[in-house]
């Protein structure tokens, strides 16, 4: 995978409910170095508004739903709606992202390829565009 795309995780269904599982390097294209999650987002708030240089991530709507806008800085913008805990959205480095319209009680789990590093963030949109243009 080298572009944003959604995909299904394995799922075990029985009369007791569903179980999904994710193995780093197997069900997703990187080893998982970090997991974080976003929750209790107040109505009308948005998250993100930054890009990463190298970080690869998989976003999962563990509960509820939200939208993610992705912008490659070169003119291509995509909107994804995540609402299924059995679906991941793979996002490689180099995409400006905004997460918004979190439903009440929703949780966004993020699997990440690297530990937290503020140096990998691009938090200014003009800098992001310039960087992509000059790449
Ligand atoms: P940020 O990535 O900007 O959040 P979002 O994109 O969801 O709006 O992170 C918010 C704050 O949390 C920022 O001060 C950095 C800190 N943070 C960590 O310390 N470790 C982490 O793994 C993450 C993702 C964020």
Residue nearest to atom 17 of ligand 1 (CA): 116
In the chain, where are the structural domains located?
A: 5-134
Average pLDDT over residues 45-68: 98
Ligand 1 proximity of 116 Cβ (cutoff 6 Å): yes
pLDDT, residue 106, reads 98
Q: 54-79 burial, b if ≥16 CB within 10 A, otherwise e?
A: ebbbbbbbeebebebbbbbbeeeeee
Mean pLDDT of the chain: 97
Average pLDDT over residues 20-30: 94
**Class assignment of domain 5-134?**
mainly beta
**Contact present, 92 and 56 (Cβ < 8 Å):** yes
Pocket test for ligand 1, best of 40, 42, 48, 109 (most atoms within 8 A of CB): 48
The DSSP element (H or E) to which 61 belongs, if any, is strand 57-63
Ligand 1 proximity of 48 Cβ (cutoff 6 Å): yes
Residue 77 Cα to ligand 1 middle (Å): 23
pLDDT tens column, 80-96: 999 999 999 999 999 99
The answer to whether the predicted template modeling score (pTM) of the entire model surpasses 0.95 is yes
């Amino acid at each position: 995978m080298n572009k944003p795309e959604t995909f299904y995780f394995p799922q075990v269904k029985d009369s007791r409910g569903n179980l999904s599982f994710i193995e780093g390097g197997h069900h997703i294209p990187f080893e998982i170095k970090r997991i974080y999650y976003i929750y209790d987002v107040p109505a009308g708030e948005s998250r993100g508004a930054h890009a990463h240089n190298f970080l690869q991530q998989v976003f999962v709507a563990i509960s509820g739903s939200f939208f993610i806008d992705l912008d490659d800085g070169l003119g291509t913008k995509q909107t994804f709606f995540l609402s299924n805990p059995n679906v991941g959205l793979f996002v490689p480095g180099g995409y400006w992202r905004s997460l918004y319209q979190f439903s009440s009680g929703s949780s966004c789990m993020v699997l990440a390829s690297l530990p937290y590093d503020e140096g990998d963030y691009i938090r200014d949109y003009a800098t992001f565009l310039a960087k992509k243009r000059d790449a």
